[in-house]
C-alpha cells in the first residue's frame, strides 16, 4: 500500500470516527490486534481504552496488548491513552496478573514501574501477581515483583496458600528459595510469621491441602495465549485444556 493510500484510508477512518463515537475504540482495538502502534497513535483522540472489548470478553485493551506481547503498544496505552493498569478482566486479573501469566519480563517491568499499579491487587481467587509468579518458571520475574512488594509474601489466596507454599508445592525450588531468603531478611514482615514459613518442610507441605491451582481453576487456560512460546507457566499447573485466545 502506497503512502497516499495509507493517508487516504486514515482520512476515511477519521470520518467514520466523527460519525460514530464508538468507532475510535474499535479502530484502536484493530490497531492493537495488528500491532500497529503508529496507526493507533495517529487515530487516538479520546477513546476510553479501559472499557471491555465486549460483553462476553471482559478484557480491557491493555490486556490484549499484553497478550500480543507488544511492549511499545503497552507503553502507548499507559502513557498516551490513560490506560488504567488496575482495570480487571472477568476473573479479577489486572494487567500485572496478565503480564506474569504471559511471562514477558519487559512488559512486567513496564507495568511494575507504573505509578498507578496496585501490586497487592488480588483476583477472584485471592491471588496476587506474586502467587501466579510462584507457579511459573521465571525466577527473574518473581525477583522483580519481590523488589517492589516483598510484603506480598504474606498474602494468602482464598484457600490459605501463600506464594512460598505455592512455589514449594509446584516444585519451583529456585523461586521457593528466593521467597524463603526474602522472608528471612525482610524487616517489613512479622518475625513469627517469617519463622513459621522458613521452617516449612516436606512433611508440612505434604499435609497441606492441594491448592486448586494444581487442578482447577486458579490459573485458567483462557487467560493465557496457547500459541505463545513465551508463556512461562507450566502446563502441569494450567487448569483444563488450552483454548484459542480468540484474537
For residue 180, what is the domain's CATH number? Answer: 1.25.40.20
Average pLDDT on 97-120 reads 96
Cell 509474601 belongs to 153
Is the confidence at residue 164, as pLDDT, over 60? Answer: yes
Question: Is the pLDDT higher at 246 or at 152?
Answer: 152
Q: In which domain, by residue range, is 180 found? A: 48-237
* Distance (Å, whole) CA 92 – CA 106: 23
**What band does 12 get if pLDDT is binned at 50, 70 and 90?**
low
DSSP structure class, residue 233: B
Domain annotation covers residue 242: no
Q: Is residue 80 part of a domain?
A: yes
Q: How far is CA 24 from CA 13, 79, 87, in A?
A: 9, 18, 20
The answer for residues whose C-beta is within 8 angstroms of residue 46's C-beta and 6 or more apart is 24
pLDDT of residue 22: 85
* Comparison of pLDDT for 88 and 193, the residue scoring more: 88
* Three cell numbers, residue 181: 531468603
Question: Tens digit of pLDDT for each residue in 109-156?
Answer: 999 999 999 999 999 999 999 999 999 878 999 999 999 999 999 999
| Crossing angle of the two packed helices 105-112 and 95-102, in degrees rounded to 10 | 160
C-alpha closest to that of 234 among 101, 123, 131, 144: 101
215 located within any domain = yes
Give the pLDDT confidence score for residue 27 in this predicted structure: 92
If one counts the domains in the chain, the total is 1
Evaluate if residue 210 carries a pLDDT over 90: no
Residue labelled with grid coordinates 491448592: 211
Please report which helix (H) or strand (E) contains residue 13, including its range. Answer: helix 3-19
- Please indicate, yes or no, if residue 162 is contained in any of the structural domains: yes
Amino acid at each position: 500500500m502506497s503512502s497516499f493510500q495509507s493517508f487516504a484510508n486514515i482520512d476515511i477512518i477519521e470520518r467514520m470516527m466523527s460519525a460514530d463515537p464508538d468507532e475510535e475504540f474499535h479502530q484502536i482495538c484493530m490497531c492493537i490486534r495488528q500491532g500497529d502502534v503508529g496507526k493507533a497513535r495517529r487515530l487516538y483522540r479520546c477513546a476510553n481504552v479501559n472499557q471491555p472489548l465486549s460483553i462476553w470478553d471482559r478484557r480491557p485493551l491493555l490486556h490484549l496488548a499484553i497478550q500480543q506481547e507488544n511492549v511499545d503498544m503497552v507503553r502507548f496505552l499507559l502513557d498516551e491513552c490513560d490506560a488504567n493498569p488496575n482495570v480487571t478482566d472477568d476473573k479479577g486479573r489486572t494487567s500485572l496478573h496478565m503480564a506474569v501469566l504471559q511471562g514477558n519480563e519487559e512488559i512486567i517491568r513496564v507495568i511494575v514501574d507504573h505509578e498507578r499499579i496496585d501490586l497487592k491487587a488480588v483476583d477472584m481467587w485471592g491471588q496476587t501477581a506474586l502467587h501466579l509468579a510462584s507457579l511459573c518458571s521465571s525466577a527473574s520475574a518473581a525477583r522483580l515483583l519481590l523488589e517492589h512488594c516483598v510484603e506480598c509474601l504474606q498474602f494468602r489466596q482464598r484457600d490459605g496458600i501463600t506464594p512460598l507454599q505455592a512455589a514449594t508445592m509446584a516444585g519451583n525450588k529456585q523461586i521457593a528459595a528466593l521467597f524463603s531468603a526474602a522472608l528471612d531478611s525482610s524487616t517489613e514482615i512479622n518475625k513469627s510469621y517469617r519463622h513459621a514459613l522458613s521452617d516449612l518442610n516436606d512433611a508440612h507441605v505434604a499435609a497441606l491441602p492441594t491448592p486448586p491451582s494444581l487442578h482447577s481453576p486458579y490459573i485458567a487456560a483462557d487467560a493465557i495465549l496457547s500459541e505463545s512460546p513465551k508463556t512461562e507457566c507450566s502446563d502441569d499447573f494450567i487448569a483444563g485444556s488450552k483454548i484459542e485466545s480468540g484474537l
